[in-house]
Structure 1
């Protein structure tokens, strides 16, 4: 890191993006609670074996707010902290790319669950822009195959039943263990292995702050639990850290 300043690791979940119009999955009004069948659309085995599931999944992607969403105050607060010279790394469970869209360098964002902004072929692994695939869906292709090999296309996200990328997970573990401050924001901390990072951070001596609307299994380990709305609570927290860093120069 070079400047001996404490490393801030931020684990972000769906709750950081709800102000951008992207619904969460497990909250009181989350997608899985409203439509349990929707979970099949992002389950690898169902997706690979059932053309009807794939057709419905492409309709869901076409109609999704994810690629139309803009970063909100919480995303911008993370960027301000980074630009204040504080070493920041974001480990995100989100696939919306909003941290990068807000201006955080790509190399400082670890996407545990991949990205919805790209499509990937399940056979030859070619990646392409998601908009390119969605344009084909809008033009009438209900289940667009890979244009290189004809394989099944999916979003470049980690579906249920798929393993996380071991390299990304390993990097996330290393950052977690090295952090002096670990902020878990907008995540239920119920999906493993991402949730375990909060515990690992605390075990390695980091100050653990949890910013989330509902209780999490790791609240008892936290140095601070914030129940205020993320759009105001996270900027207040991170701007305070940035000011302290500026004063300490």
Structure 2
């Protein structure tokens, strides 16, 4: 019995010693990072002997901190909005107009940037949702049920009416494409629609289009809206693909329509999106084809697109 007790006390002591050693090692590493970081911020001529010695002794740490700074600088540049001068803008508009006119099967991909004129914040712009959250700021909510389709939404709808746009693939949940009059069969809302709730107990799935936001009670993996189907009394759920989820509903997501449109597209026009999310969906970019056989791509966005390197592979 005593030997077993001694063994237990010994193993606990060893675990405590290991935990303490790990904490001391982490604190030592943090101190090294602080010292090297301070040294790197100073011009070489202003560094103390201790700081110069630290940079020589901890070359790997210095290199890692330099790489982090490069990545931060690149990210900051990508978040900056760039506006072309008047002549360059006119030239690009002419090129885009020719491409739209000559396209046999034009598909439009839209992001949050096309809804900012309706006072709906984007995500990665200077005042975007993710940008504000990264800075530790709160994001104010607004009543999106009062938002009206913007000039961009109405132009897209008119281009579809004139048979110049075949399909619209949207990341937006604000419902403004539908409010513009764009037909449901010409639209894929890949992340859902905050004004639509559905009953999946009914076959086919029964839809309820509301004038109010149905997502007031929903969140990640919690889709119940608290209302019931008037036909079968089943629980209604939202159609939103929350961050970290994969969408499974046929409508309004309409993945089939999006994939078929991409397969037939000879021109893809992307409006108001960094494409950071859309680039993950290879089927939308015809990645199974050689680069020369893929649709021509035109991007209209104030920030650098995050999809270009991916598409050149």
Query: Same fold by TM-score, threshold 0.5 exceeded?
Result: yes
**Structure 1, unpaired ranges of 5+:** 39-59, 138-142, 223-249
String of CA shifts for 1:115-139, please: whole Å, max 9, x gaps. Answer: 01123579988753444676x99xx
Spell out the pairing of 1:1-249 with structure 2 (5 A cutoff): 6-35=104-133, 64-120=142-198, 127-131=207-211, 145-147=226-228, 155-165=238-248, 168-192=254-278, 196=282, 197-198=284-285, 200=287, 203=291, 204-219=293-308
String of CA shifts for 1:1-45, please: whole Å, max 9, x gaps. Answer: xxx97111000000011111111122221112323699xxxxxxx
Larger relative contact order, structure 1 or 2 (CA cutoff 8 Å, min sep 6): 1
String of CA shifts for 1:180-224, please: whole Å, max 9, x gaps. Answer: 1100111111114566434749944311100011001234688xx
SS in 2 for 1:28: coil
TM-score, length-scaled by structure 2: 0.50
Q: CA deviation at 1:101?
A: 1.3
Relative distance call for 1:73 and 1:195 in structure 2 (3 A) is farther
TM-score, length-scaled by structure 1: 0.62
Relative distance call for 1:73 and 1:122 in structure 2 (3 A) is same
Q: Partners of 2:155 and 2:302 in 1: how far apart?
A: 18
Comparing both structures, which one devotes a greater share of its residues to strand?
1
The answer to whether the Cα contact below 8 Å between 1:202 and 1:221 also exists between their aligned partners in 2 is: no
Structure with the greater alpha carbon radius of gyration: 2
Relative distance call for 1:87 and 1:121 in structure 2 (3 A) is closer
The answer to whether the Cα contact below 8 Å between 1:90 and 1:110 also exists between their aligned partners in 2 is: yes
**Structure 2, unpaired ranges of 5+:** 1-101, 218-223
The answer to whether the Cα contact below 8 Å between 1:119 and 1:133 also exists between their aligned partners in 2 is: no
Q: Partners of 2:167 and 2:280 in 1: how far apart?
A: 15
SS in 2 for 1:91: strand
Relative distance call for 1:66 and 1:36 in structure 2 (3 A) is farther
